[in-house]
Amino acid sequence: MDAVQKITSLCKRRGFVFQSSEIYGGWEAAYDFGPLGAEMLRNIRNLWWKEFVHKQPNIVGLDSAIISHPRVWEASGHVESFADAMVEDIKNNKRYRADHIIGEYFEKKNGEEFNADGMSLEELDILIAENNILSPDGNKLSKARKFNSLVEVSIGTLEDAKATAYLRGETCQPIFYNYALVRDSMRMKIPFGIAQIGKAFRNEIKVGPFFFRTREFEQMEMELYVHPSDAENQMAKLKSWAIDWLVSLGIPEDKLRLRDQDFKERAHYNKIATDVEYRFPFGWKEFQGLHYRSDWDLSRHAEFSGTNLDYTDPVTGEKYVPHVVEYSIGLNRLMLVLLFDAYVEEEERVVLKLHPDIAPYRYAVFPLLKNKPELVDKARLIYNTLVTKGYNVAWDDRGNIGKRYYSQDEIGTPYCITVDFQTLEDETVTIRDRDTASQRRLRIDELG
């Protein structure tokens, strides 16, 4: 089994992630997060919100509608430009992203990364023809053409009055069209930020591996409104802040790198785009973007809506359209990074060495024997106390203690607490550390 198969299998077996609609044969590129996956996502969301909203006096939150006025996506440029180049296997009509299929071909041939993202349709066709690049099934490929990633929805109650709208392709557009409402209602002064966590949707041509690329995913985004002359400085600050936060979650710095996109790769709205990449077993992959979007979004929304979105500096009186520096990270993709990073195989056990604040459970409580009511009652009391203190706590009274430890190691529970006969005498328990497997005795009132 390769690393992706191992993580996929653990996620299913232990209730982290399931293929969506499995009993109907599954639904491509959609995943449901099971009980432990839901806990992990919630922990990451909470940590992110605490860091990027609660701890920042100049950043506030937003929770917007997923379906907005269709003009939003015309103004943002997505209707016209949010597209990938696609090629089709001419025999079985399977579709592929042209840059991926070319990249994979050259990587195999030369053993080096090859980035064809952003090449023109002509350039892609020439590379495919000159190198006789075939589909994974060995068939000829069609000419490259653009494929828009926005997901359309038909909305309304009367058939003939239905409007075509779009599921949001990025969570930040509502942050832009709400810019003036937030600024005025919260009396925000530049530089200030608006953050949002929520679902985004893209009609991706190629999906996977596992839930790395899906058609429905969650983003955590923060848009910082700045004076144009301050943009470079804010971008530099954001880069080190972004890395520091990832390192605080336990991701080693040597498995992270920043990569500047060249102008061909950049999305239509970006002047500067820096990817944050993680070294997965399947190569360096982007999981976060730091972007300098200039005044693209606010100017376009001002133009398309006819609303003045200028900012007037309260001290100098200068009037200008604020520029935007963006922090954007995929919640699900970050979860995948954290799972890959935490997965360790040791001689007798598999351990998820997740940061305690991210692990689904903080503690597991075990009565040594389940047929001794005095042990079970005492363990229940400790369990309830920890839950009351706000921790998510697992309970296990099956089988031998060693097996219970291994079972908790595999889902990343940092601490296991065993209630034994000594507990009844001296109010102490055994606490066992997940990473070192070492055990010590602790007084019950020292827990939590």
Would you give the DSSP letter of residue 198? E
Q: CB count, 10 Å around CB of 183?
A: 19
In three-state secondary structure terms, 263 is coil
CB closer to ligand GAP out of 214 and 423: 214
Cβ proximity to ligand GAP, 201 vs 343, nearer residue: 201
Residue 214 lies near ligand GAP (rule: CB under 6 A): yes
CB of 275 to ligand GAP, least distance (A): 7
| CA dist 311 → 191, 270, 271, 379, 389 (Å) | 11, 21, 21, 60, 45
Segment interacting with ligand GAP (CB under 6 A) among 50-58, 83-91, 94-102, 216-224: 216-224
CB 404, CB 434: distance < 8 Å? no
333 binds ligand GAP (CB under 6 A): yes
* 364 lies in the site for ligand GAP, by CB under 6 A: no
Instruction: Work out how close the CB of 48 gets to ligand GAP at its nearest, in angstroms, rounded to a whole number.
Output: 13
Instruction: Please give the structure tokens belonging to residue 226.
Output: 């700045």
**In the complex, least distance from residue 276 CB atom to ligand GAP, rounded to whole angstroms:** 8
For ligand GAP, the closer CB: 223 or 396: 223
- Say whether residue 338 binds ligand GAP (CB under 6 A): no
Cα separation of 141 and 150, whole Å?
24
- Taking the complex as a whole, the smallest distance from the CB of residue 315 to ligand GAP amounts, in Å, to 31
Residue number of the CB closest to ligand GAP reads: 330
How far is Cα 76 from Cα 72, in angstroms, rounded to an integer?
A: 6
- Integer-rounded Cα radius of gyration of the chain: 25
108-127 residues near ligand GAP, rule: CB under 6 A: none
CA distances from 126 to 105, 121, 130, 146 (A): 14, 9, 6, 16
17 or 368, CB closer to ligand GAP?
A: 17
- Burial status of residue 197 (CB atoms within 10 A of its CB: 0-12, 13-18, 19 or more): buried
199 DSSP β-pair partners: 218
Greatest alpha-carbon span in the chain: 80
360 contributes a contact to ligand GAP by CB under 6 A = no
Q: Is 78 a binder of ligand GAP (CB under 6 A)?
A: no
Q: Which stretch binds ligand GAP (CB under 6 A): 209-217, 307-315, 376-384, 391-399?
A: 209-217
Does 97 sit near ligand GAP (CB under 6 A)? no
At residue 30's C-alpha, the angle toward residues 6 and 223, to 5°, is 100
Q: Are 144 and 124 in contact (CB under 8 A)?
A: yes
> Cβ of residue 35: shortest distance to ligand GAP, in angstroms?
22
Answer whether the bond into residue 70 is a cis peptide, omega within 30°. Answer: no
Cα–Cα distance, 97 to 218 (Å, whole number): 22
Member of 17, 127, 325, 329 binding ligand GAP (CB under 6 A): 329
Binding mask 284-303 for ligand GAP (x = CB under 6 A): --xxxx--------------
Q: Which tokens sit at 381?
A: 């009391």
Residues in 156-175 at the binding interface with ligand GAP, rule: CB under 6 A: 170, 172
Which residue from 16, 33, 179, 217 is in contact with ligand GAP, where contact means CB under 6 A?
Answer: 217
The token pair at 324 is: 């935007």
Residues numbered 124 to 143 that lie near ligand GAP (CB under 6 A) are none
Long-range CB contacts (within 8 A, 24+) of 314-317: 314/189
Give least dist CB 142 to ligand GAP, A: 23
Q: What crossing angle do the helices spanning 3-13 and 331-342 adopt, rounded to 10°?
A: 100
Residue 332: how many CB atoms within 10 A of its CB? Answer: 23
Nearest distance from C-beta of residue 53 to ligand GAP, angstroms = 17
Closest contact distance (angstroms) between CB of 208 and ligand GAP is 10
Of 192, 309, 334, whose CA–CA distance to 256 is shortest?
334
- In the numeric block, the tokens 């990451």 are attached to 44
Interacting residue with ligand GAP among 202, 300, 301, 355 (CB under 6 A):
202
194 binds ligand GAP (CB under 6 A): no
Q: Which stretch binds ligand GAP (CB under 6 A): 94-102, 248-256, 326-334, 376-384?
A: 326-334
Helix (H) or strand (E) holding 84: strand 83-88
Q: Which is nearer to ligand GAP, 170 or 295 (CB)?
A: 170
Q: Does 52 bind ligand GAP (CB under 6 A)?
A: no
Q: Which of 213, 301, 432, 434 binds ligand GAP (CB under 6 A)?
A: 213
Judged by CB, which is closer to ligand GAP: 269, or 405? 269
Interface with ligand GAP in residues 235-264 (CB under 6 A): none
Binding site for ligand GAP (CB under 6 A): 170, 172, 202, 204, 213-214, 217, 219, 221, 286-289, 326, 328-330, 332-333
